Amino acid sequence: MIKVSNLNKSFDKLHVLKGIDEEITQGEVVVVIGPSGSGKSTFLRCLNLLEHPTGGEIVFEGIPITDEKNDINKQRAKMGMVFQQFNLFPHMTVLENITISPIKVKGLPKIEAENIAFKLLKRVGLYDKADSYPSQLSGGQKQRIAIARALAMEPDVMLFDEPTSSLDPEMVGEVLDVMKELASEGMTMVVVTHEMGFAKEVGDRVLFMDDGIIVEQGTPKELFENPQHPRTKDFLSKIL
């Protein structure tokens, strides 16, 4: 579904991604772990071109999205993204947050967009918050709304950029639960996270990144119980 070849990204002189090859297949939950500064968020943000790669190619559903002539907006509409800082639109109600893109980008009639929104709100357990503003929600609620907003576009893949890192500990669970449910329904997901429990439980594959490359990858069992590379061992020993 997403094929990445020799992906490189530099910020001025800082070489962040140093040649990444990776393929994500339909229905797979790929968890990306690694120390901060390892390039895992940059990798994720390259997948929908929020960061423009300085080298290499990304093919999404058969379309080379890194091609200059490609209109990325079409693919972005099929790739949901959830951010660490939620990034809900503060001047819109929850319902408007969720419906704005289906209406404006996909051209759905308002009623239809709202029907989808209410279904999603029910799913993330926030049906009664439709008319609230983001400032009236807790962190966990905000992130669940952000997930609903991304899902409203009916994406083929969901990208999660440290979705629980800015949450109070007691709210992490409610967000992870929504993500787990999503995974169990077969959604293709790429998740950058520090939640090793989630990686173990939900991940089909875990990538360990360090210093701009994928050092090691495998099933959660392989990677967590029997890491091969010394850098992986070192990282896991620090956090587990």
Per CB under 8 A, residues contacting another protein are 48, 50, 73-74, 76-81, 83, 85, 87-91, 100-101, 104-106, 133-136, 146, 149-150, 153
Using the minimum distance from each CB to another protein, give the nearer residue, 84 or 217: 84
Instruction: Please identify, using beta-carbon distances, which residue of 6 and 136 lies nearer to another protein.
Output: 136
Tokens of 181: 């449910």
Q: What angle do CA 146, 188, 171 make, to 5 degrees?
A: 35
Residue placing its CB nearer to another protein in the complex, 106 or 229: 106
Least distance in angstroms from the C-beta of 173 to another protein: 24
- Rounded CA-CA distance 43/40 in Å is 5
In angstroms, what is the minimal distance from the CB of 133 to another protein? 4
In angstroms, give the least distance from the CB of 100 to another protein.
Answer: 6
191 neighbors 198 (Cβ within 8 angstroms): yes
Assigned token pair, 23: 């393929």
Q: Which residues of 130-167 are buried (b: 16+ CB within 10 A; e: fewer)?
A: beebbeebebbbbbbbbbbbbbbbebbbbbbbbbbeeb
Composition of the chain by helix, strand, coil, percent to 5: 40, 25, 35
Which is closer to another protein, CB of 118 or CB of 133? 133
For residue 64, give both structure tokens: 């080379």
User: Minimum distance from CB of 209 to another protein (Å)?
Assistant: 21
Q: Which amino acid is at 76?
A: R
For residue 192, the cross-strand partners are 32, 161
* Min separation Cβ 204 and another protein, Å: 23
Q: Measured from the CB of residue 235, what is the shortest distance to another protein in angstroms?
A: 28
User: Which lies closer to another protein via its Cβ, residue 32 or residue 206?
Assistant: 32
Identify which of residues 90 and 197 has a Cβ nearer to another protein in the complex.
90
Distance CA 201, CA 209 (A): 19
